[in-house]
Amino acid sequence: MIRILGISGSPVKKGNVETFLMKLCKDTADIDIQYEIANLSSLDVKDCIHCNFCIKKQKPSKLCSINDDAQGVFDKLETADIIVLASPVYIMRTSARMAALLDRMRVFIYGNIASGRLKNKIGVSAAVAWERNGGIETTHLSHIMAFLTFEMIPVSVQNSISPLGASAVSSVHGSGIFEPAVRLGIEHDKDGLLSAAATMKRAVELARLVKR
């Protein structure tokens, strides 16, 4: 069984990023593939305070000193084979909510019991920009740098918009023109949806190789 955890870093509930992530995971599901999604828009994940609790005081059910929803995400991260980070493009990078979670995930680097538990998991980056060339790849790099820090395996595909990850736009054709009648522009982005399918196909292939 391959388990996928998708994490949306958008503050918008049921917006473009959450919709893109849901389609990305749902279309991948199969008899031997399960997925779960964590939407940070509905979770309370505070900033890392760098207290270093995780270095010496971790317990199985408490990897961090802060009492919020992060521990629930940590539990899901540990059981996942494929981790998908999906974010809107915010100032040419990943969102603040996603950055806060990534900072808190230091528990898997320095933790006295959880260190190294993300090693060799498959990492997928997904990004939604307003414009076609409006920061998708630099947002992917935000996620890929995290994957490398956790000693994960980032997914790359060539037959896609970007080899760095699943890439979509929320304005029609990536024009950057606001059209009031279009709320979920990613649904009109056929190339973006194809990039998601290609990326996830490769992610599953890698996950199966690792499991062997």
CATH at 28: 3.40.50.360
What confidence score (pLDDT) does residue 165 get? 96
For the question of whether the overall pTM of this predicted structure is more than 0.75, the answer is yes
Predicted confidence (pLDDT) at residue 113 exceeds the cutoff of 90? yes
What mean pLDDT comes out for the span 146-164?
94
Confidence category of residue 174, pLDDT binned at 50, 70, 90: confident
Q: Which of 76, 60, 73 is nearest to 114 (CA)?
A: 60
What confidence score (pLDDT) does residue 175 get? 77
What CA dihedral angle connects 94, 98, 102 and 107, to 10 degrees? 180
Confidence category of residue 31, pLDDT binned at 50, 70, 90: confident
DSSP-derived letter for residue 46 is P
What confidence score (pLDDT) does residue 125 get? 98
What confidence score (pLDDT) does residue 22 get? 96
**CB neighbours of 65 closer than 8 A, spacing ≥ 6?**
49, 51, 53, 54, 57
Q: Residue 184: enclosing H or E segment and its boundaries? A: none
What confidence score (pLDDT) does residue 29 get? 83
Structure tokens at 106: 């230091």
- Judge whether 127 and 165 are in contact, CB under 8 Å: yes
CA atoms within 13 A on the CB side of 162: 23
Tens digit of pLDDT for each residue in 52-93? Answer: 999 999 998 999 999 999 999 999 999 999 999 999 999 999
Predicted confidence (pLDDT) at residue 148 exceeds the cutoff of 80? yes
Identify the domain containing residue 191 by its residue range: 2-211
Confidence category of residue 178, pLDDT binned at 50, 70, 90: confident
What confidence score (pLDDT) does residue 38 get? 98
- Judge whether 43 and 60 are in contact, CB under 8 Å: no
Q: Which of 81, 101, 112 is nearest to 40 (CA)?
A: 101
- The number of distinct structural domains making up the chain is 1
